[in-house]
Structure 1
Amino acid sequence: MRKSTQNLSFLLGVLLLAFTSCSDDDLGGGTGVDPDPVDSELVGSIDNDMTLDASIDYNLTGVLSVEPGATLTIPAGTTINTAIGTDVYIVVQQGAMIDIQGTASSPVRMAPSTAGTWGGLLLLGEAETTAGSDATAEVGGLIYGGTNNNDSSGSIEYLIIENSGAQINADSQYNGLTLYAVGSGTTIENVAILNGEDDGIEFFGGAVNATNIYVEDLQDDAIDWTEGWSGTLTNTYVLHTRGDFSTALEADGNETQPNITNFTAVSETGGTALQFKSVSGANITGLSLSGYDTSVELADPEEGDFANIQIEGQDSNPNNTYSNPNQIDLSIFSWINDALSEPQSLSGSIDEDMTLDAETTYYLDGVFSVESGATLTIPAGTTINTATGTDVYIVIQKGAMIDIQGTAEAPVRMAPSEPGTWGGLLLLGDAETTAGSDATAEVGGLIYGGTNNEDNSGSIQYLIIENSGAQINADSQYNGLTLYAVGSGTTIENVALLNGEDDGIEFFGGAVSVTNVYVQDLQDDAIDWTEGWSGTLTNTYVLHTRSDFSTALEADGNATQPSIVNFTAISENGGTALQFKSVSGAIITGLSLTGYDTSIELADPEEGDFANIEIDGVVSDPTNTYEAEATVNVEDFSWVN
């Protein structure tokens, strides 16, 4: 897999089910599938429509058969891990349908989870084939073929098939994508077949068309057809880096001439590019071959005829190398490289500047510490997938800086790649805090606090943090964005905090200001401050759809009064909106609350004073619901989705 990724990267750079293990009887003749989303095994047969869940990694442990009348839908981003062997494949029977809904950014992927090969994906249609109607396939007694060349077996978009080609018998193996008499009503676009032991795509008759096909290091033929296939193949790129392949294209059978448009094949090890058996032929335009010993050959010269093989409108010529310029924009295959790129680990510490790459997926699998004097730059569109637990977070130490360069079109995203919570992003500054200079944080022995309220910890623009809040101890959890004594020289704008188990943003002293904040479904407080934070919070939208939250805003500590400008909070489950502890206070303008049982409360009424909390120019009033028109437009945060 890694070799494939490297080859494609080089190429682009240079050329710019939820089943239990069950029998057919268990499936109940149309009663559907076990709905338990935890069950990821795919095996047996389905005769009702079934849709997989992209959040589940499925395990194909045998033959999965989609029966006539049923449709198997596979959403974008779904991964199907397969066992190995000749009895492991997905087959879409005559009269059944498949709907693979991959996208360039989230293709569907089918690959073995251990070393070895499997049977790939097989479609059986009712189009014409020289084998006749209701022919029997070379595998599994499968039936295919009919008289309807317009037949539809469904749609395949953005699919990667890896390591297919399990041995059926001494003369035959499975392919990656096998198309038995598939009709032209079927859509096949953007498919990659990688590292298999037989053919990439093989057509057994039919009239289906295929577009944007990438085939790399198949042991037999990249593209193969027989039994009178009459469709069109458009934009195909074949790469051979291994020396034991057969051909880039093999044709067999009768005199039908399917259309091959824009076919580029590159070999690093010589070999034969195009081979035609019996009396087969083709109409080929946009042919580009590189590195082959033989460009085109007749396997059966007594039967075959180069005149049946039309290349660029002329009879084919084995003396022509066809080393023409590539006609394919290779950027159409960049999605494959993106999907195969293995996440780069982030952990440990850096003491020199480091810039991440938005084209790389990162995996935070421990504490990642940016040390004093270093800057971590995170470009727009970067994704950081995280492990879960209390030892998983990013910390910007005192004297270090972060530069998150997200945009509305391409925000930076930090989120766990598996169920659970993590520690979020922590900034440690040199500004004032009531905890004093060089205070020790409640986590990791981190040091923060000083005398410079203008201290600068960098810039954060368009950042999404999801599922933070790992449990530190019985009394404390991580937040999404934790700001320890961060100074006013720091820029924090356009931040979203989603579905965490503690606070969204918590300020521990400091003078930093934050603008444009969206917080949804945090279990504790959406916004929290303590230790004398003295900055400004502008344009905050809080949404509570869960009932187990604490507050939209919690203040604790001394009598400092930070400014809260335009704060809109909505609850679908009652609860408390604003809570002030000890002698804390605030100056709030533009407050809008909806759906809370309590608008404002003093957690310590013997110490607190509503007079410390000024709302829209007057002393706060707990009998006022503050149900004003929203002061923040939720549409301003459309970039979050």
Structure 2
Amino acid sequence: MKKFLLGMVLATAFLATSCGDDDSTPQPVEGAITGPITTDTNFAYGNYTLSGIVKINSGVTVTFEAGSTITCDKTTGDNALVVLKGGKLIINGTASSPVVFTEASKVPGSWGGIIMYGDAPINAAGGVATATSEDGNNQTYGGTNATHNGGQLSYVRVEYAGAKLADGTKENNAFTFYSVGSGTVLDHLVAYKGADDGFEFFGGTVSATNLVSYGNYDDAFDWQDGWQGQNNSNWYAYQISKANFGMEIEASSNNNTYFPVITNISLIRAAGTTPEVAGDVQVDAIQFKKEGNGNFSNIIVDGYGSYTEGTTVYEGAALKIQDAATNTDQVNTGRIKINNIKISNTSHEILPASSSFSVSMPSGSWSTSTTATGASLSNGNWTTVDGVQLIN
């Protein structure tokens, strides 16, 4: 039955792009996407319904053409698009014709987003080189293939993700990358109003450019398990309504000497934004914990001020060091570098999470600026939702 449905989708795509009043302006096709996908498949420009946890099998390449919209419906059960290790996802959106993955109810936390697995190196809790995903798919990730290629995602927007799948122990993000390698291209991606993180990396070596995280409930950007992408730039976060850290950074409690490199970052928290969960106050722009580290430059931080819960006032910081081990092993050794950072409407520059230790950034590891520019991105159809432009 699945082969018959896929055949109908492809046949419809051929007719829609071959017949019509103007062959140069193809009409969108309509079709259903179910899984697993076991053969190379091209989804022509169109409007599709994605049903279930659709898995792209190893050895299979799936392509979506520019301008397509893929819609899930949470009332049908768990939904997600999953690229298994060895599979490839090619999404060829453009600034004027992005590929949009959304959910019918427009409620954050309604589906699982895009999840990709690879076999690039990781350093998970306990120092192990492989681990099992906590997303409900129970996939093994991690390996030795630093140049793993999971495909190309260009001008893609994922909306209203953040659901738990099956028996998963945590919510999924808009984009989740498990041990994805440097051969994968991630460029001009938007994570919009999800119930967990906008983007999360579990180890791997992949880099990402031109990212927008808008209105996600947890962290705008998050990573662990020794992620070490080296060519990241133009990361923009706008946190509204409720949200936690702008960036939450950890290395799964493994002392390490590698670190990711990111240039041109904007972290903006709108006035009135509250923590995701009452009693769990996370209101800082950049937090390092569990031996996390990184080299960041040309940064804008705005809006991480005070938050009052009950009678307690919590004051946000541009940089929060969560634990003494991270301070000793990463801060003091110069493995955390935050340079050319412009800070406004934020209570503190640097704070320790506890009075049991103090943070003193080594020479060359911290510098503020009045001229930092942050992310450099332009609005277009790829960053416009319901008439609202996401980049301020």
Q: 1:285: which partner in 2?
A: 297
Does the Cα contact within 8 Å between 2:237 and 2:246 map onto a contact in 1?
A: yes
CA shift at 1:149, angstroms? 0.6
Matching of residue 98 in structure 1 with residue 93 in structure 2: no
Q: 1:251: which partner in 2?
A: 249
Identity %: 30
Alignment CA distance shift 1:61-1:301 (3 Å): same
Structure 2 residue matching 1:264: 3-state secondary structure? strand
Q: 1:207: which partner in 2?
A: 205
Distance in 2 of aligned mates of 1:137 and 1:166: 15
CA shift at 1:135, angstroms? 2.9
Q: 2:32: which partner in 1?
A: 41
Distance in 2 of aligned mates of 1:170 and 1:138: 5
1:398-457: CA deviation from partner (whole Å, max 9, x where unpaired):
xxxxxxxxxxxxxxxxxxxxxxxxxxxxxxxxxxxxxxxxxxxxxxxxxxxxxxxxxxxx
Distance in 2 of aligned mates of 1:272 and 1:141: 32
Q: 1:639: which partner in 2?
A: none
Q: 2:320: which partner in 1?
A: 297
Structure 1 unpaired stretches of 5+: 1-21, 343-358, 360-641
CA shift at 1:289, angstroms? 0.3
Corresponding letter in the other structure for 1:212: N
Corresponding letter in the other structure for 1:290: D
1:274-326: CA deviation from partner (whole Å, max 9, x where unpaired):
11111111101111101112111122234434343211289x96069957545
CA shift at 1:341, angstroms? 2.5
Corresponding letter in the other structure for 2:244: S
Structure 2 residue matching 1:44: 3-state secondary structure? coil
Q: 2:74: which partner in 1?
A: 84
Q: 1:224: which partner in 2?
A: 222
Distance in 2 of aligned mates of 1:62 and 1:108: 19
Matching of residue 273 in structure 1 with residue 275 in structure 2: no
More strand by share: 1
1:18-46: CA deviation from partner (whole Å, max 9, x where unpaired):
xxxx6xxx559xx9755453761212111
Does the Cα contact within 8 Å between 2:96 and 2:380 map onto a contact in 1?
A: no
Q: 2:350: which partner in 1?
A: 318
Distance in 2 of aligned mates of 1:136 and 1:106: 36
Does the Cα contact within 8 Å between 1:225 and 1:250 map onto a contact in 2?
A: yes
Distance in 1 of aligned mates of 2:240 and 2:369: 18
Matching of residue 164 in structure 1 with residue 161 in structure 2: yes
Q: 1:125: which partner in 2?
A: 118
Distance in 2 of aligned mates of 1:207 and 1:188: 12
CA shift at 1:121, angstroms? 0.2
Does the Cα contact within 8 Å between 1:287 and 1:324 map onto a contact in 2?
A: no
Q: 2:234: which partner in 1?
A: 235
Matching of residue 112 in structure 1 with residue 98 in structure 2: no
1:546-590: CA deviation from partner (whole Å, max 9, x where unpaired):
xxxxxxxxxxxxxxxxxxxxxxxxxxxxxxxxxxxxxxxxxxxxx
The one of 31, 37, 57 aligned to 1:67:
57
1:119-146: CA deviation from partner (whole Å, max 9, x where unpaired):
0001111100113555321121123221
Distance in 2 of aligned mates of 1:234 and 1:251: 17
Q: How does 1:348-363 map to 2 (within 5 A)?
A: none
Q: 1:58: which partner in 2?
A: 48
Alignment CA distance shift 1:323-1:273 (3 Å): farther
Does the Cα contact within 8 Å between 1:294 and 1:321 map onto a contact in 2?
A: no
Does the Cα contact within 8 Å between 1:290 and 1:323 map onto a contact in 2?
A: no
Alignment CA distance shift 1:162-1:331 (3 Å): same
Does the Cα contact within 8 Å between 1:152 and 1:184 map onto a contact in 2?
A: yes
Structure 2 unpaired stretches of 5+: 13-28, 274-282, 305-315, 342-347, 352-365
Distance in 2 of aligned mates of 1:329 and 1:178: 22
Corresponding letter in the other structure for 1:210: A
Distance in 2 of aligned mates of 1:170 and 1:49: 28
Distance in 2 of aligned mates of 1:323 and 1:238: 19
Structure 2 residue matching 1:304: 3-state secondary structure? helix
CA shift at 1:71, angstroms? 0.5
Does the Cα contact within 8 Å between 2:156 and 2:382 map onto a contact in 1?
A: no
Corresponding letter in the other structure for 1:277: K
Does the Cα contact within 8 Å between 1:215 and 1:222 map onto a contact in 2?
A: yes
Q: How does 1:479-558 map to 2 (within 5 A)?
A: none
Distance in 1 of aligned mates of 2:55 and 2:79: 11
Alignment CA distance shift 1:338-1:279 (3 Å): closer
CA shift at 1:220, angstroms? 0.6
1:454-493: CA deviation from partner (whole Å, max 9, x where unpaired):
xxxxxxxxxxxxxxxxxxxxxxxxxxxxxxxxxxxxxxxx
CA shift at 1:69, angstroms? 0.9
Q: What is the aligned residue count?
A: 314
Does the Cα contact within 8 Å between 2:97 and 2:382 map onto a contact in 1?
A: no
Distance in 2 of aligned mates of 1:323 and 1:264: 14
Distance in 1 of aligned mates of 2:222 and 2:138: 21
CA shift at 1:170, angstroms? 8.8
Quote the RMSD (CA, aligned, Å): 2.8
CA shift at 1:336, angstroms? 3.0
Q: 2:178: which partner in 1?
A: 180
CA shift at 1:203, angstroms? 0.4
Does the Cα contact within 8 Å between 2:210 and 2:377 map onto a contact in 1?
A: no
Corresponding letter in the other structure for 2:327: G
User: What's the TM-score once normalised by structure 1's chain length?
Assistant: 0.46
Distance in 2 of aligned mates of 1:170 and 1:60: 20
Distance in 2 of aligned mates of 1:317 and 1:36: 59
The one of 149, 152, 161 aligned to 1:152:
149
Distance in 1 of aligned mates of 2:220 and 2:200: 8
Structure 2 residue matching 1:218: 3-state secondary structure? coil
Does the Cα contact within 8 Å between 2:83 and 2:116 map onto a contact in 1?
A: yes
Matching of residue 336 in structure 1 with residue 389 in structure 2: no
Structure 1 residue matching 2:380: 3-state secondary structure? helix
The one of 134, 140, 144 aligned to 1:138:
134
CA shift at 1:327, angstroms? 2.2
Structure number with the bigger relative contact order (C-alpha 8 A, sep ≥ 6) is 2
Alignment CA distance shift 1:92-1:172 (3 Å): same
Alignment CA distance shift 1:246-1:338 (3 Å): closer
CA shift at 1:48, angstroms? 1.1
The one of 261, 275, 278 aligned to 2:263:
261
Does the Cα contact within 8 Å between 1:197 and 1:219 map onto a contact in 2?
A: yes
